[in-house]
Amino acid sequence: MIAVVVLTGILTRFLPFSAFFRNVDTLIHELSHALVTLALSGRVNVIHLYSNQGGVTLSTFSSNWMAIPISLAGYVGSALFAVLLFYLYAKRNERAGLLTVMILAIVAAALFVRNGYGLLWCVGFAVLSGLVAFMAPPLLQKCYYLLIAFICLVESVISPFVILVLSVTRPASAGDAANLAQATHVPAVIWCLVFIAVTLWCAKLSTSLLFKRGFGSGAAKI
């Protein structure tokens, strides 16, 4: 599992257009915050996505305790989404996965994302994914799908390690972990370790699903 994540992390960084696709993980992260906010009867004010793969969700909610599940949702949601993508791959249902990310991008653009880059990215990604889902030959569709799935997997694992470093060097800048530390008085570094444990577990599930199907054309064994 570690070898797969490290290798694909290196390979995706060499692709000249990989920065564009790495925003998929950012989109899922921010939408996870938004979904939990809405589930708790809060209000999602705006989502911003940036060209450096950063993002922010601004929301309002009625009780301070709600900050805990909302802050937890980002990294947990993106890790679980990677599992979903590899599950659909194992089931040979790449089109369903592509339609899922396409619809999520459309919903985000229509309801939440309001900065210029974020809107352009959501529309562009939705159009591209729709074209691949309905018009691309099977091999291209599979390669495109695996690119998105691997990027979601790699980014979901790397991101908690990044904020772990920040939680030690600049605790106030540790994003969701800093929000959780403020809400619970548990140090940000502890929350980073929780995120890492969850994402590594999800990465193990994802790679298990990947190897159940493999990369050949034989029947899936699920």
**What's the chain's Rg over C-alpha atoms?**
17
CB contact at 8 A, 59 and 70: yes
Neighbours of 188 (CB within 10 A): 25
E strand or H helix that includes residue 45: strand 43-49
Angle ∠(86,9,166) on CA atoms, nearest 5: 110
Reported pTM: 0.89
Residues 85-143: tens digit of each pLDDT? 999 999 999 999 999 999 999 999 999 999 999 999 999 999 999 999 999 999 999 99
Q: How far is Cα of residue 155 from the mean position of the Cα atoms in its chain?
A: 7
72 pLDDT more than 60: yes
The pLDDT confidence band at residue 174, using thresholds 50, 70 and 90, is confident
Q: Check residue 212 and give its pLDDT.
A: 80
Q: Where do runs of H (alpha helix) occur along 91-137?
A: 94-111, 116-135
